[in-house]
Amino acid sequence: MAGSPFERSRLRPMTGPTESSFDPVAILALRFGAAIRAAVPDAPGEIDPMITPSRQQQFGDFQCNAAMGLAKRIGAKPRDIAQKIVEKVDLADIAEPVTEASIAGPGFINVTLKPDALAALVGKLDTPALGVAPPTNPETVVVDLCGVNLAKQMHVGHLRSTAIGDTLARVFARLGHTVIRQNHVGDWGLQIAMVVWKLAQQTTPGQAPTLDLETIEKLYREAQKETSAGRTGLKIARARQHAKLIAEFEAEVVDADAALDEAKAWLVKLQSGDARAAELWKYVADVTKAACLENCRRLRTAITEESWAGESSYRHDLVPLVDDLVSRGVAEESDGALVIRVEEHGIKEPCMIRKRDGGYLYATTDLAAIRHRIQMLGADRAVYCVDARQSLHFKQVFAAAEKAGYASRNGEVAKLEHAAFGTILGEDGAPFKTRSGETVRLTDLLDEAIERASAVVADKSEGLSKDDVNAIAEAVGIAAIKYADLSSERIKDYVFDFDRMLAFEGNTGPYLLYALVRLKNIFRTASERGVDAEAAMDGAEITIAEPEEKQLALALLRYPGALAATAEALEPYKLCAYAYDLATAFSSFYKNCPVLKAEQPTLGSRLRLCHLTQRVLADALDALGLPTVERM
């Protein structure tokens, strides 16, 4: 993935944007690069012009920070170097004259763009692709996301994997890469066999089961309870040498063992293809899948049936995979188990792939999945959108996969990345639970968000039909929840707070939706007043006169870089921050720069700015996976 052209001029490849680019950072990097070469011919190594947007408006639009580092390397005074650069740099066509007065502090060189040059750059951005160039090196990216388990309803913990994973997938796709979403469903193993066992007890052979997911989940819990009863208690009783309790718990454990044996028997049936077991398993899988996909649909994600890639799909790969690892000496025995040592990757804990009893583990299936994704699906990059608590697991598995050669295809090693995220907390700072201490179902969470949004929408939106209010409330509620999840660094925990995310003020999803509505409203109003916006924009020159127009223009030009930076860092918050910046720049513009009241040529220019802003904002919201509305 290329670096952000706006934020890291250093990473710009030699074949990158040229003078024809719309990107002011790229253009200034070329000009200052040439100036530095001329000013300091004996500068050692690579020259990085270090162009960045100015932090504060008083320092101009952009700055070149190269003089200080250069001076350090060659033992000169920073301001002298800056002076030489200023003398050599040629910005006549694009910026206000750069003089000694442009040098500030220890050697910053401040640059202010000419309004007409800025306008011309915005004009170049005004294309169907909105300045996003096709990738020089298109990749196939697998995104592991959602991560549900069979026989369980989705809960609040699935929100992050689903929302963040889908957003990253959308951003990759928007940048022109090929994206494959993979929902690595926990649908195999003893846990699932337990459910099948309980379901077999509840249903008559030859009769199709009719239980819903909630009931199936109860069976799952019962199975868990029955097979583990007494075990913990026995340990404690033995530690305390409490004879009576030991006897009681021992009796419980005898029952639990019997239950476990039954579950294991069903696991064997499942593994050997027993028809009844397969039928019940498929029923549980279908019910779970339907519920999961419904949640994914409500969340406006592109996670579909095609993304369903359960652990069970690797079940026939495990034996040959382990054989392969053993025969090539990648895996070795340890205390009767089979492990892959990854100390050479700086990880002390070995990656266990087979238990002493011959059972396979989470890591075994993950290795099979990596091999499949890289070598069969053709992934150049695999991104795992999974809870941060699994970070050691992924370090081990990634290292083991590389050691085994499973991460390579045609000699090229694919990138394996864990896009780890933190926990959603309740107001008490503990993992988010209901008042009664149970996990929060995702459907309930979405319902409540929409219900709360509905109250506000009904209050604020007059003259809308009930259907409109419902549709708007749903979009606002979903956008609020998703934006709250996407808008801070992945790795951080955050406190789930309906009041804050639905306050509709400041950096929230609804604010962005509202900005888009205002943009659309300009064109709707134009139409109502008989103003032909298309005609007014046709052939109109963009002019940048007011400060608000300038800030809006500068924000627009940052869009492709914001997308690239988001993909590079696997951080949706970067795109959120960009969208919010753009929306605030537009809101100021909207307040201070009348559009429809203006006369030509200002009317045409501002309409074009609005039209471009509308398209960029809508594009960004689409990449974030946020639903939008026409009115609110």
Partner RNA sequence: GCCCCGGUAGCUCAGUUGGAUAGAGCAUCGGACUUCUAAUCCGGCGGUCGCAGGUUCGAAUCCUGCCCGGGGCGCCA
Instruction: Tell which positions 78-137 bind RNA, by CB under 7 A.
Output: 78, 104-106, 108, 110
Residues 6 or more apart whose CB falls under 8 angstroms from that of 329 comprise: none
Residue 179 or 385 having the CB closest to RNA:
385
Max Cα–Cα distance, the chain, nearest Å? 94
Binding status of residue 618 toward RNA by CB under 7 A: no
- CB neighbours of residue 221 within 10 Å: 13
Binding status of residue 34 toward RNA by CB under 7 A: no
Query: Minimal distance in Å, beta carbon 278 to RNA?
Result: 19
In degrees rounded to 5, what are phi and psi of residue 34? Answer: -65, -40
Instruction: Tell which positions 130-169 bind RNA, by CB under 7 A.
Output: 149
The first and second tokens of residue 101, run together, are 């007065």
In degrees rounded to 5, what are phi and psi of residue 183? Answer: -95, 100
Instruction: Tell which positions 345-374 bind RNA, by CB under 7 A.
Output: 348-350, 352, 355-357, 359-362
Query: Minimal distance in Å, beta carbon 241 to RNA?
Result: 25
Query: Minimal distance in Å, beta carbon 625 to RNA?
Result: 19
> How far apart, in whole angstroms, are the C-alpha atoms of residue 553 and residue 119?
8
Query: Minimal distance in Å, beta carbon 310 to RNA?
Result: 10
> How far apart, in whole angstroms, are the C-alpha atoms of residue 236 and residue 233?
5
Residue 76 or 133 having the CB closest to RNA:
76
How big is the site for RNA, counted in residues (CB under 7 A)? 99
Instruction: Tell which positions 564-583 bind RNA, by CB under 7 A.
Output: 573, 577
| Pairing status of strand 381-384 against strand 415-418 | parallel
Binding status of residue 393 toward RNA by CB under 7 A: yes
Query: Minimal distance in Å, beta carbon 180 to RNA?
Result: 21
Query: Minimal distance in Å, beta carbon 247 to RNA?
Result: 25
Residue 51 or 296 having the CB closest to RNA:
51
The first and second tokens of residue 44, run together, are 């050692």
Amino acid identity of 259? A
Residue 28 or 200 having the CB closest to RNA:
28
Could you say which of 23, 139, 311, 380 contacts RNA (CB under 7 A)?
311
> How far apart, in whole angstroms, are the C-alpha atoms of residue 413 and residue 379?
10
Residue 247 or 392 having the CB closest to RNA:
392
Whether the Cβ atoms of residue 580 and residue 486 lie closer than 8 Å to each other: no
Residue 7 or 402 having the CB closest to RNA:
7
In degrees rounded to 5, what are phi and psi of residue 324? Answer: -60, -45
CA torsion 154-158-163-166 (nearest 10°) is: -90
Query: Minimal distance in Å, beta carbon 149 to RNA?
Result: 7
Query: Minimal distance in Å, beta carbon 135 to RNA?
Result: 20
Residues 239-258: x/- map of binding to RNA (CB under 7 A)?
Answer: --------------------
Residues 6 or more apart whose CB falls under 8 angstroms from that of 539 comprise: 604
Binding status of residue 334 toward RNA by CB under 7 A: yes
Span near RNA by CB under 7 A; candidates 31-39, 255-263, 277-285, 385-393: 385-393
Query: Minimal distance in Å, beta carbon 568 to RNA?
Result: 9
Query: Minimal distance in Å, beta carbon 554 to RNA?
Result: 12
Three-state DSSP class for residue 178: strand
Binding status of residue 77 toward RNA by CB under 7 A: no
Binding status of residue 320 toward RNA by CB under 7 A: no
Binding status of residue 595 toward RNA by CB under 7 A: yes
Residue 449 or 595 having the CB closest to RNA:
595
Residue 242 or 500 having the CB closest to RNA:
500
> How far apart, in whole angstroms, are the C-alpha atoms of residue 32 and residue 40?
12
Residues 429-458: x/- map of binding to RNA (CB under 7 A)?
Answer: ---------------------------xx-
The first and second tokens of residue 134, run together, are 């096709």
CA distances from 71 to 28, 106, 176 (A): 20, 11, 40
Binding status of residue 601 toward RNA by CB under 7 A: no
* Cα angle for residues 338, 341, 347 (degrees, 5° grid): 135
Residue 166 or 311 having the CB closest to RNA:
311
> How far apart, in whole angstroms, are the C-alpha atoms of residue 343 and residue 399?
9
- CB neighbours of residue 126 within 10 Å: 19
Residue 69 or 209 having the CB closest to RNA:
69
Span near RNA by CB under 7 A; candidates 1-9, 138-146, 283-291, 375-383: 1-9
Could you say which of 36, 472, 481, 575 contacts RNA (CB under 7 A)?
472
Could you say which of 190, 246, 326, 618 contacts RNA (CB under 7 A)?
190
Instruction: Give residue 11's region: left, alpha or beta (phi > 0; psi -120 to 50).
Output: alpha
| Pairing status of strand 178-182 against strand 140-144 | parallel
Query: Minimal distance in Å, beta carbon 32 to RNA?
Result: 11
Binding status of residue 220 toward RNA by CB under 7 A: no
Instruction: Tell which positions 477-536 bind RNA, by CB under 7 A.
Output: 487-489, 491-495, 500, 503-507, 510-511, 514, 517-518, 521-522, 525
Residue 179 or 475 having the CB closest to RNA:
475
Three-state DSSP class for residue 540: coil
> Can you say how many angstroms the Cα of residue 118 is from the centroid of all Cα atoms in its chain?
32
Residues 6 or more apart whose CB falls under 8 angstroms from that of 224 comprise: 194
> How far apart, in whole angstroms, are the C-alpha atoms of residue 512 and residue 619?
12
Residue 262 or 311 having the CB closest to RNA:
311
Amino acid identity of 149? N
Instruction: Tell which positions 42-71 bind RNA, by CB under 7 A.
Output: 48, 50-56, 58-59, 63, 65, 68-69
CB-based burial label for 517 (10 Å; 0-12, 13-18, 19+)? middle
Three-state DSSP class for residue 352: strand
